[in-house]
Amino acid sequence: MAYYITYGEFQQHMKDYFFRTGSRMQFPEMADYLYRKGLLSETPPDPMLTSEMFGDMDDDAFNKIIDQLPLELNPQISITPKVKETDIFPNSGDVFIIRHPRYTRPTPHIHNYFEINYVASGSCTFVFEKSKRIMQEGELCIIAPSSEHDLVIDDDSTVFCIMLRKSTFDTTFFSLLSRKDLLSYFFRTILQDDSHANYLLFFSENNKWLKQIIHNAMGESYKNDSYSNACCISWINLLFSNLLRNYSKTLQFYDYQMGSDFSLVLQYIQHNYQTLTLASLAELFHYSEPHLCTLIKQNTGHNFTGLIKRLRLAEAIDYLTNTNLKIGEIAEKVGYNSADHFSRVFRSTYKMSPQEYRKQNSHTEEAFVPFEIRKEKDK
């Protein structure tokens, strides 16, 4: 049977217990403790208004909203180091978001879904595969499934925890991560390899827009109407887009196979692929060419030549569909020494010429002219 309490009441009990006893409890232990003390209700608190948006709220105002949210508890459930989707997600939900509990007892665990932790204010201790680091305000960490980790908050810092079903990540967000950006290739490869623990860490400079996304996504995850799940997924799409667009240069990751500076290699390729050679890249980063080829293949899924080709052609498609640049100008911008060479490579990949592709897919249109103005011109 489910019992209820508000976020704020639950967190206050966690804090009071810690300061009174000097000991910490895990989330399920506190749920059981409150049940035995008769402090849980059999009916949920009043639901919040479904029309409300939260993006413009500051941290204090949004925390007050969270404190009023209903928290559903199932007492007398044993603690396990392996957490499954069925233990966390509502039946109809693909995304579930909480404000991470404070003053919990450290308990490393793994789970079969993706977890995103964002430090909105303050700091926390992030434990990953028995190593520790302090996550500061503005840092965001995406943890791959099957990774042993823990998060400990020792004060009133605010950390949002976004949980995504693995199947949802694979189907809904995979297309977003299939773009020309090299870090998108890397993102997919490193996070979808279940055989290794991994995380990606971004520093967002405490970005206001990122907070707005997370506030609204969390609000949607508690509305529980026929629109909330789709809206929540849309907000997370915006979150990923914002990270890839604005913060790819801040990317760090847990390293299981390669040198800790390899993300710099990926970023260098991304920004210099138009003229880059394998020899110059290997010399710059002090790798042998064969070893560098192996690392690139392992972590992007492509060999060096194929990767450069994909990056160039993806950029070319952007120019073809969104600009009126001539074919020769596009060839030069993406790194080909002639329009003929570019056209041959393009045709071998897409089975049509760049001109034919532009005709079929162009997004460029004549500028809109208001009806009244056009009518005046036609006189």
Number of Cβ within a 10 Å radius of residue 266: 21
Intra-chain end-to-end CA distance of the chain, in Å = 76
pLDDT tens-digit profile, the chain (379 residues): 889 999 999 999 999 999 999 999 999 999 999 999 999 999 987 766 555 778 788 889 999 999 999 898 988 777 788 888 888 887 778 999 999 999 999 999 999 898 999 999 999 999 998 889 999 999 999 888 888 999 999 999 999 999 998 888 777 776 666 555 655 665 666 666 666 777 888 888 767 889 999 999 999 888 878 899 999 999 999 998 888 778 776 766 665 444 445 666 877 788 788 999 999 999 887 889 999 999 888 877 889 999 999 889 988 998 999 899 999 999 999 999 999 999 999 999 999 999 999 999 876 555 455 554 444 444 4
Residue closest to 100 by CA, chosen among 122, 78, 79, 82: 122
> At 71, phi and psi to the nearest 5?
-115, 120
Give the model's pLDDT for residue 183: 58
Give the model's pLDDT for residue 136: 94
Task: Give CA separation, 217 vs 96, 150, 222, in Å.
Answer: 9, 23, 9
Give the model's pLDDT for residue 352: 95
Number of Cβ within a 10 Å radius of residue 6: 17
Give the model's pLDDT for residue 225: 84
Given a contact cutoff of 8 angstroms between Cβ atoms, the answer to whether 298 and 257 are in contact is yes
The residue to which tokens 């049509």 are assigned: 352
